[in-house]
Chain A
Amino acid sequence: MTNRISDDLLTQCMHCGLCLSVCPTYALTGDEKSSPRGRIRLMKSVMESRIPVTDAFVNEMDFCLDCQACETACPAGVKYGELVESARIFVESSRKRTSLKVFILRKVVVRRRVLNFIAGIARVYQSSRVDRLVLRLLNIASKNLYNKARQLPKVSESFSINTLPEVIEPKDEWRGTVAVLTGCVMDVFFADINKDTVDVLVENGWRVVIPKDQVCCGSLNAHNGDGITPKGLARKNVDVFERTAAEYYVINSAGCGAFMKQYGDVLANDRGYSERARAFSAKVRDFSEFLVQTGYKKPGAHTCKPTAYHEACHLVHAQKVSSEPSEIVRDVADKDYRTLNEATWCCGSAGIYNVVRYDDAVKLLNRKMVNIKNSGAEIVVTGNPGCLAQIASGAKKEGLDIEVVHPATLLSRLYKANGSQ
């Protein structure tokens, strides 16, 4: 059966326990079951048919944030992310019916037109007065639903995939061509960040291509028990991005970047695509990683406010990209740089985790907000749309005057500030 969890990957765990010290869910419960080591043992027991797929098992697999902090701490190089993702696929395949979560991801999120349609409705709804009325009613009816509804960020005015031209030429110098993914969550909620990303790349002499027929990267599906949809999406993106003839694919969303770097593995057994997918993944760079590695213009201007950097899980743990974004933030913050305690800890956003496991996500968010408050930062920089929305909602809830920004926004703004001086 193809859905089995790899025995080789499971056996690589030597159960030393070092993962326990960095696991956010173990920190919440202190329970071995909700640690990476415990979950691996549970997966092994299910694979060896010692226990069936019980509710408790499914719950532990879903409780995991898939933040992969354990991979950073693991001395034996256990590929935990791959394990928990394949465990979720196994759970899904052992069900009689597709779960609602997977159904929605499959039918809505990955279908650009459907997603934009629904987001369009949401935009109209948010800009009307109806949403305030609904919130007020929810506040009376259900505190839980009210909180969930309140954390939803505002839908973008317009989607960058529609407004940005397909090709944007740099002004004076010409260093090469890069292709940019606009993303699903990024575009629906943070279309401006895509515009900022393009501005910064162009400012640095790169010709930017935004392939209009690009599709969702597939990461949300892959992280939530759907082993099939992501393959189709990956193939489509390989086709589309190949045609741009770009030297690099610059991804400004940590979750998408991490997954696109894995396309080589995702399509490893696909004869027509395995080589091409590997070549694709080799070209993928996170936005900050790309700028620092290829060299970028220092803006010269500074944030002039206490600034801290929150490391998105899918950047620091999944992509092992940490020094580059932190270098950018240190440079622009200068004297105002603040060290964020537990900067590499998950904020609780974790893809759609803060929707499907709201209560757990809030506990992690609270922990993050305490650290942010203690750092004294007024600007928090982070490279993932999920984190941006999550931390912003945390700040709103706590009544903190904190701006949460993507490195692209920060750079773009400072370039402009410097240019206007």
Chain B
Amino acid sequence: MIGEKVKSELVRIFGKDGFRDSDEDRIAYSYDGTPVRSVLPDAIVTPSSVEQISKLMILANENKFAVVPRGSGSGLSGGSIPTENSVVLLMNKWTNVIEFDKNNLTAWVEPGVVTGKFQSLVESQGLFYPPDPGSAQICTLGGNVAENSGGLRGLKYGVTKNYVLGLEVVLPNGDVMRVGGKNMKDVAGYNLKDVMIGSEGTLGIFTKILLKLIPLPKTGRTLLAFYDSIAGAAATVSEITAARIVPAMLEFLDNPTIRAVEDFAKLGLDRNAGAVLLAEVDGAKPVVEEDLAAIEMICKKSRATTLHVARDQSEGMKLKAARRSALAALARISPTTILEDATVPRSELTTMVYFINLTAAKHNVQIGTFGHAGDGNLHPTGLTDERNEAEMKRIEEAFDDIFRKAVELGGTITGEHGIGLSKKKFLEELYNTPFVSMMKKTKEMLDPNFVLNPGKVVSVAPRCEGALPRSREQIDRVLSKMDNPAEAYF
């Protein structure tokens, strides 16, 4: 626990209204969107200026407590779950769009702006900010930059990093760094901006973000195709790629997910279909029509059993309902939902989905898979009950196999959710040593006292000073995790 002296310092910096440490508050900030895990923070602070954040970092270095940044807390890899001996730095009140530059098509925003609100704002001006994570209605742009979030439009439009032009960052030592700007070309020095993007709150705290905007596509058309097997859907994806067509969206559901969606939403889907593929093309009207016709041909050639083409946007919305309700349908089946994001090169889609289905059967667990077929980003979703320890262990083993297979196929353990706490052990184990060790060195250099979101992404050697165990409870927790020393960090 942070001491009374630190607490009074925090009150001095953030004021009475900016500091909270009641049991109720600590409980409410002990988790994020990640299943199962939670740790109580010692306090929560709400900054109103960059200077306050700088002062906080200096205080943290002097007194060796951890700082855990948080936006809306919707992350899925534990990035904003507190650590032992930590203070939560709550950024969700930083909601201003500081500047909307229509001449350069850029926007300066504060990190607490909600992604969906920002999208509506720019779209009302005929502009487009494409990254759209599933939690767009609540997640913040700061969180998106920290996690380098993706979403449904990744295939054609890329992910968050493709839209970040500049950053203002408070570094772990309290310095304020500005990097990037409105220039589309800028090669002055190392590309430190991209080191910060996706750093999951371990290298710096964003206080201002400069985003790139693009013109809003003029039209869009949607198509839904059913297949007997996942292979047919995968063949369609390969053919579309070979035909030099880049859809704005190319999504799929596997059979267990189709069944769940049909049970839940009663959309009239064929429960025995092996796979459903959803494609959306956007852009200028003639191109859209041409691409759509080509995709229709390819679907038929790949033996799609049924094909629906939406005539207009509202029909398109109906077709998208199946994909949109995938998570909702799966999540209702059981109390605990583990949404993962193993990703493979799109050519390996079929192999991976079959492997997931086999693995689920082998470990006797329920896993439904859906996701971004176009970019190989899959969402195998484990359905379990955290109170059932035996099943939790089995599902952990199943995901263990799945991540290993993904890497074996040239894929990655996470396409868009991040490493955080959840996948640290896989990162250390499955990725090459120089890569991991350079990350550790970067972390150690920027944050020698390990005060900023420690223990996330990479494990750092536990330091004794100031972080000695203070209670029997803490020691027991470490002892119980001895089989997994990576977790044993105070």
Query: What is A's interface to B at a CB cutoff of 8 Å?
Result: 8, 11-12, 14-18, 20-22, 30-33, 35, 38, 41-42, 45, 50-51, 54, 56-57, 60, 73, 75-77
Contacts and interface: CB of A to CB of B under 8 A. Distances in A.
Interface string B71-84: 01110000000000
B25 A15 contact: no
Contacts of A22: 137
Given A33-B25, A38-B28, A75-B327, A17 B332 contact: no
Contacts of B135: 16-18
Interface in B377-395: 385-387
B256 to A, nearest CB: 17
A11 B31 CA distance: 14
A96 B386 CA distance: 35
A419 B124 CA distance: 44
B331 A77 contact: yes
Given A32-B29, A76-B328, 11 more contacts: A15-B31, A17-B74, A18-B137, A18-B138, A30-B92, A30-B93, A50-B23, A51-B23, A76-B331, A77-B331, A77-B332
A22 B114 CA distance: 12
A57 B28 CA distance: 11
Contact of A41 (B30, B327, B335): B30
A32 B33 contact: no
B30 A16 contact: no
Contact of B33 (A16, A35, A41, A57): A16
A42 B28 contact: yes
Contacts, number: 80
Contact of A11 (B93, B332, B336): B336
Nearest to A14: B337
B114 A11 contact: no
A50 B138 contact: no
Given A11-B386, A17-B72, A45 B27 contact: yes
Most buried by A among B73, B93, B385: B73
B32 interface: yes
B336 A14 contact: yes
A228 to B, nearest CB: 28
The 6 closest A-B pairs by CB, nearest first: A75-B328, A17-B74, A76-B331, A32-B28, A21-B137, A38-B28
B72 to A, nearest CB: 6
A42 B27 contact: yes
B31 A56 contact: no
B114 A76 contact: no
Interface string B250-269: 00000000000000000000
Contacts of A8: 335
Interface string B1-32: 00000000000000000000011110111111
Interface string B136-152: 01110000000000000
Interface of B: 22-25, 27-33, 35, 72-74, 92-93, 114, 116, 135, 137-139, 327-328, 331-332, 335-337, 385-387
Most buried by A among B23, B25, B135: B23
A15 B332 contact: no
A17 B135 CA distance: 8
19 contacts: A11-B335, A11-B386, A15-B32, A17-B32, A17-B33, A17-B74, A17-B135, A18-B137, A20-B138, A21-B116, A33-B28, A42-B24, A50-B27, A54-B24, A56-B22, A73-B137, A75-B328, A75-B331, A76-B332
Nearest to A77: B332
Contacts of B25: 33
Given A14-B35, A38-B28, A42-B28, A54 B23 contact: yes
A191 B332 CA distance: 42
A97 to B, nearest CB: 24
Contacts of A54: 23-24
Contacts of B72: 17, 20
Nearest to B92: A30
Contacts of A14: 33, 35, 331, 336-337
A27 to B, nearest CB: 11
Contacts of B327: 75
A57 B385 CA distance: 27
A170 to B, nearest CB: 35
B24 A51 contact: yes
Most buried by B among A11, A17, A35, A56: A17
Nearest to A33: B28
B114 A56 contact: no
A77 B337 CA distance: 12
Contacts of B27: 41-42, 45, 50-51
A20 B114 CA distance: 11
A235 to B, nearest CB: 32
Given A50-B27, A54-B23, A21 B35 contact: no
B24 A15 contact: no
A12 B335 contact: yes
Contacts of A41: 27-28, 30-31
Contacts of B35: 14
A21 B28 contact: no
A42 B137 CA distance: 24
Nearest to B33: A16
Contacts of A42: 24, 27-28
Contact of A32 (B23, B73, B336, B385): B73
Given A11-B335, A76-B328, A60 B33 contact: no
A33 B88 CA distance: 14
Contacts of A16: 33, 74, 135
A135 to B, nearest CB: 35
Nearest to A39: B28
Contacts of A21: 114, 116, 137-138
B15 to A, nearest CB: 16
B24 A56 contact: yes
Contacts of B29: 32
A297 B319 CA distance: 33
A356 to B, nearest CB: 20
